[in-house]
Amino acid sequence: TEAGALLDTPLLRLAALPARVTLAARPAAVAPGPSRLALLEDTRGAGTAVKATARHDSGEVTLDGPAGTTLTPPLRLLWDLFPVSRGATVPAELLGLGDATLPGQDFTLAGKPVTYLAGGSRSGEGYSSTVELTVDGIRWQEVPMFHGRGPAERVFVTREDEAGFTHVLTGDGVCGARPHTGAVITATYRVGAGAAVPPAGTLTQILTPVDNLSAVRNPVPPGGGADADPADRVRTEAPGSVLTFGRAVSGDDYQVVAARAPGVSRATAAWSWDPAQQRAMVRVFVGDDDAAVASARAALRAACDPNLPLTVLPAVRRPVSLRLGLRLDPDRVAEQVVARVRDALLAAPGGLFAPNVLGLGEAVYRSRVEACCLLPGVLAV
């Protein structure tokens, strides 16, 4: 007696993304043709970002995503994506009144840190603040600098001080207009920044109702955020930013431009060979998330020769183990000495092996490790 057709045993886990999937029905809002960004979500709520291309004649979709992704079937392909960014809005904060007798008025925003977003160049090369300035109800435009601006242009500049507060500066009447006396000056902006991000699956609440939006979720963690640059990083990268003049020519230029991109904490560049075009090329490696890789790629596309091949890749983590033998002063408390040595090696922000201290691929010599360990109470390493 025929009982039916045998079915393949369902997979319990996918160790790699499928190259193609077939949808039960193509969503009406998805047009076939060029690839578009989508999210692939598994039964646990975890997922990954993919480039999806729908075919014209069927429900088949071609997927292109990162290697090494492990998902648990069944899978759901999410097309209806919208971008989100960090920050709480501070509406119409009163900064003060205009005074036409003062060149270059300086107003300090009460909230900090102000949210900056990648893209555009209102505040600097490749990034823009969220500050919107109005003078007597007229919106002024943010620019990176006053140089080259006319005396009647309604522009302003933002700057950060050492305490993290944002200053809004107006023109002096020569480069940039002065606000007229008695003008009410207000600013709307957003606050909130940092590299820390909420895990996947935690963005589920809609604070303000939106028409036709019933639920939200994030199968992948957000990325692209960055903490404020510490003073030592500013000292290291500031000379390089002056030497590039916004253009990437040498390998060092590529590294500097990539490292200064929003959301990038570490980057390195290495010369390589392009077998297809039979010429030298630069490969750039970024030691952060996918959003940082995209940010570095966008910054380099704007700075390098468009006729040259551009390769920006995420750096691959390599586990390393280090075993140390310490000869301690017998008059010291051993546990306290060992704890100080461990902090010198691992504790943020200054530990030798703390996050973002070493450069990508940077060699670490024994003498440098020993120098970190030779603290009071350590006789030999």
Q: Which two tokens stand for residue 88?
A: 């709480």
- Mean pLDDT (the chain) is 81
The pLDDT tens digits of the residues spanning 71-115 come to 777 777 777 777 777 788 999 999 999 999 999 999 999 998 898
pLDDT score of 100 = 92
Mean pLDDT on 341-358: 84
Phi, psi of 159, deg, nearest 5: -140, 150
Q: Which two tokens stand for residue 47?
A: 């997922």
Rounded Cα distance, 52 and 284, in Å: 25
The DSSP bridge partners found for residue 313 are: 285
Task: Supply the angle between the helices 366-373 and 334-346 in degrees, to the nearest 10.
Answer: 130
pLDDT score of 105 = 94
pLDDT score of 97 = 95
pLDDT score of 187 = 95
Mean pLDDT on 32-42: 74
Total residues found in the chain within this entry: 381
pTM: 0.67
The DSSP bridge partners found for residue 124 are: 127
Is the predicted pLDDT of residue 6 greater than 60, yes or no?
no
Do the beta carbons of residue 48 and residue 65 sit within 8 Å?
Answer: yes
pLDDT score of 40 = 79
Rounded Cα distance, 42 and 319, in Å: 28
Mean pLDDT on 48-58: 74
Strand 279-286 versus strand 311-314 pairing type: parallel
The pLDDT tens digits of the residues spanning 196-233 come to 777 887 888 877 888 888 888 788 877 777 777 666 66
195 vs 314: which has the higher pLDDT:
314
Rounded Cα distance, 121 and 80, in Å: 28
Rounded Cα distance, 71 and 46, in Å: 7
| Structural domains in the chain plus CATH codes | 20-78 (no CATH), 88-191 (no CATH), 231-314 (3.30.300.30), 327-380 (no CATH)
Is the predicted pLDDT of residue 24 greater than 70, yes or no?
no
